[in-house]
A and B are shown apart, each in its own frame.
Chain A
Amino acid sequence: MADPAIPLWEVFIRSRSGLAHRHVGSVHAADVTMALQNARDVYTRRGEGLSIWVVPSNAITASDPADKDMMFEPTGSKIYRHPTFYDVPDEVGHM
């Protein structure tokens, strides 16, 4: 018989000052203190980070990849949101 499941946590690491925390993987741990310790041991053995976040995996709500078109396609047609949509004379220089 397999053991009962030990909760799963997603791990985010800030690699350098000024950068955002970035998802690096996950760990199992009974509580948040151990989740942080395990994340440190598993994901930062070579100075990979300055700061770690751990988040219970089941607290994350994700968009469904099947809804990708509905979610993201509408922005594809709105080319006027990009600076290159607008014509300005070359003499203006960099703008």
Chain B
Amino acid sequence: MYTQGLNNHDATANDTSANSERFQARIDAEERIEANDWMPKAYRRLLIRQISQHAHSEIVGMLPEGNWITRAPSLRRKAALLAKVQDEGGHGLYLYAAAETLGVSREELVDQLLAGRAKYSSIFNYPTLSWADIGVIGWLVDGAAIMNQIPLCRCSNGPYARAMIRVCKEESFHQRQGYEITLTLARGTAEQKAMAQDALDRFWWPCLMMFGPPDSDSQHSDISIQWKVKRFSNDALRQKFVDATVPQAHLIGLEIPDPALRFDEATGHWVYGQIDWDEFRQVLAGDGPCNRDRLAARRKAHADGQWVREAAMAYAEKRRARPAKLAA
């Protein structure tokens, strides 16, 4: 959102304690940290990692849904899904641009993704087996993403916070279109309702995992909260999501696939069962159902676009050279 060219002075040169204290004081005063402001190296690293993982997630997230564009059951559904997938592409671009203000180039970030060195949200390594998955992804995956992203609109990093404001505005259409698809199936024939339930059964637990490891073993939470990159803990957001979603499922007659789920009158929260963190770690480490397919699809898209990027640059170069030639 601001140019890397502006970052020409070495803002990371002196991580002195005086600078760090001043930085923390600005954070505590709810000031936003902008591209040219001094920031600790660790803050810059944390933000680059988080924003780029977020951008990669948007881009890889286009794949499971893109899988159903040509098979959407009506023109209305097709147009909406196409618009949603375009939005994800746009979100990825807003976020890469926000990461670039921290002094990294989009090319480097894309390179990290394609080389398998960068992470993206574990949820996109699950396959979309039926049309109902498109409904449940919009409702739950985008719903979980919104829970995560709304607090990020107040993130201490200005470019990231501003990108998130745009993303959140667009994301609520995604969730509503997903819920509408799920609701339509749930109120349809017995077979359609079974499809919706099956999709919910497969996506429920991976969606709870989207909020990240439990607070007891999350690595980055403390410093993220101190720097106001993050405003709520993983478990707090997960609980918020469960509390919001369970009644939505019940309203359309679907069952949450968790025998331990119960409403706790005392706290007013839905208490959920044990999450399979081994599965989460396995998917994150690259052994989910679709990790290899996703990376292969991104690599192919990038390689197939190579000639387009080269041609565009060559054409721009030719146009630049032309007036000079005329003058000579």
Q: Give residues in A with beta carbon < 8 Å to B.
A: 1-6, 8, 10, 23, 25-31, 34, 41-43, 45-46, 57-58, 60, 62, 64-66
Query: What B residues does A26 contact at CB under 8 A?
Result: 1-3, 97, 100
Query: Is B38 located at the chain interface by the 8 A CB criterion?
Result: yes
Q: Assess whether B100 is in contact with A64, with CB atoms less than 8 Å apart.
A: no
Query: What B residues does A41 contact at CB under 8 A?
Result: 90
List 11 contacting pairs A-B, 8 Å CB cutoff, sorted by A.
A2-B105, A5-B105, A8-B5, A10-B1, A10-B2, A10-B3, A25-B162, A25-B166, A46-B170, A57-B2, A60-B6
Q: Assess whether B110 is in contact with A2, with CB atoms less than 8 Å apart.
A: yes
Q: Assess whether A2 is in contact with B6, with CB atoms less than 8 Å apart.
A: no
Query: What B residues does A25 contact at CB under 8 A?
Result: 1, 94, 97, 162-163, 166
Number of interface residues of B (CB under 8 A): 36
Q: Assess whether B4 is in contact with A8, with CB atoms less than 8 Å apart.
A: yes
Query: What A residues does B3 contact at CB under 8 A?
Result: 8, 10, 26, 57-58, 60
Q: Which residue of the partner chain, among B9, B106, B162, B319, contacts A31 with CB atoms under 8 Å?
A: B319
Chain A minimum-CB-distance residue to B306: A3
Query: What A residues does B87 contact at CB under 8 A?
Result: 45
A70 to B243, CA, bound (A): 51
A41 to B87, CA, bound (A): 10
Q: Assess whether A45 is in contact with B90, with CB atoms less than 8 Å apart.
A: yes
